[in-house]
Amino acid sequence: MSLERVKQRLATISNNGLLRTLRPVAEVGPRVQLGDQECLLLCSNNYLGLADHLSLKRAAAEAAFRFGTSSGASRLVSGSLPLHDALEASVANWKGTETALLFNSGYAANTGIIAALAGRGDLIFSDRLNHASIIDGALLSGAKLVRYPHNDAAALARLMEQHQTDGLRLIVSDGVFSMDGDLAPLRALVDLAAHHDALLMVDDAHGGGLLGPQGRGSAAMAGVTSGIHLQMGTFGKALGSFGAYVACSQLIKDYLVNRSRSLIFSTSLPPAVLAASLAAIELVRSAEGERRRQQLAANVALFRRQLQLAGFAVPDGVTPIVPILVGDPVVTMTFSAQLLEKGFFVQGIRPPTVPQGTSRLRCTLMANHSQDDLSAAADAIAQVGRALGVV
Ligand SMILES: Cc1ncc(COP(=O)(O)O)c(C=O)c1O
């Protein structure tokens, strides 16, 4: 009976055009073997192409040989390895904060941090397009969740006046929105947080390594680092590794070490991953990091312009996340399948990842895409888009 229910629920997902499946892919890009087809990968968050960089691979291999393959337990149980402490120091130095704390993934960071900071009687103000892990953290916390219209600081100001509490207030926003590639109005959020005595948390999963001087992220780019209490970021995207961090004060770190369940009750990151992340930070701060960011910026400008010229409503923007709005989930997946036939792997994104009626192709660019390949991709997108009546 219960299994029958699962079967029915899966059938409903499928009938709504929302079935998801896992596909085998042989490499990390930018050219990949997908099943029996070679194609250009346009849906990875490995933006700087660091996931197969020799420095990261060597650091990971050496750390595995020296320290082994697992950390063995939560840090609160069996202690921190030198690499945990070194990576936290490196993150804090890079982000310009007092300290930092590692988490096992961005998902674990957001759920663990938000549910630790806020609870019953508290208020969480969250951008309507924030990542699922932020929403899950807010739901887990038991605090009242107030969602404000996307990037609308004036609406947030009204909602903050309207909702009062004797408890804690937390404003939380993506720095770069993962499905739209646009930037949060960080200066306005900092002002509102200060005015209402709220904590401000920014999820910079898609800004770290890419934006601002030395890739320090969206807060550094906006010049508002000191007004943000928690800068969360991930190692699994531009940094080419795995795991996550929050750059913050010692007070916040001490509190999270005592209260964050995803930190307390989970085996910590293993040596190879820690070493790869350390190498990645060094790399993004180096001249090579700058060169890769410049290549990526040139790719982003070219690709956005070509899609605009083809008639797509693609906004100008500095991030490598380029959404092509389709609307209908079935047409979106047909669009994606037809591009794959032409050798371009662009993932279709459907609800619940994005709101109903806003299914889209989410193109993501890499520093090591060639401009010829990107031009060919833009041509193919225009051709298929016209055939499907999307443009
Ligand atoms: C904005 C945002 N936050 C958090 C996460 C989760 O990070 P991770 O993949 O490290 O769990 C993602 C990744 O999908 C993301 O896009």
Beta strands 359-364; 321-327: pairing state: antiparallel
Give the position, in ligand 1's atom list, of the atom nearest the Cα of 178.
Answer: 16
**Given the residues 206, 229, 253, 369, the one annotated as active site:** 206
* Domain limit, last residue, from 250, 284, 318: 284
- Say if ligand 1 is within 6 A of residue 111 CB: no
Can you list the positions of beta strands (E) in the chain?
Answer: 31-34, 37-41, 99-103, 123-127, 144-148, 169-174, 199-203, 230-234, 244-248, 321-327, 344-345, 347-349, 359-364
pLDDT at 35 over 90: no
Residues 33 and 75 in one domain: no
* Domain limit, last residue, from 238, 256, 284: 284
User: Is 237 assigned a catalytic role?
Assistant: yes
Quote the pLDDT of residue 36: 86
Closest residue to atom 7 of ligand 1, CA basis = 106
Q: What is the mean pLDDT of the chain?
A: 97
* Domain limit, last residue, from 284, 301, 327: 284
Q: What does the pLDDT look like over 46-66, one tens digit per residue?
A: 999 999 999 999 999 999 999
- Say if ligand 1 is within 6 A of residue 178 CB: yes
**CATH number for the domain harbouring residue 91:** 3.40.640.10
* Number of folded domains that form the chain: 2
Quote the pLDDT of residue 26: 87
Q: What does the pLDDT look like over 193-204, one tens digit per residue?
A: 999 999 999 999
- Say if ligand 1 is within 6 A of residue 225 CB: no
- Say if ligand 1 is within 6 A of residue 169 CB: no
Residues 214 and 317 in one domain: no
Tell me how far the alpha carbon of residue 107 lies from the centroid of ligand 1, in angstroms. Answer: 6
The letter for the amino acid at 290 is E
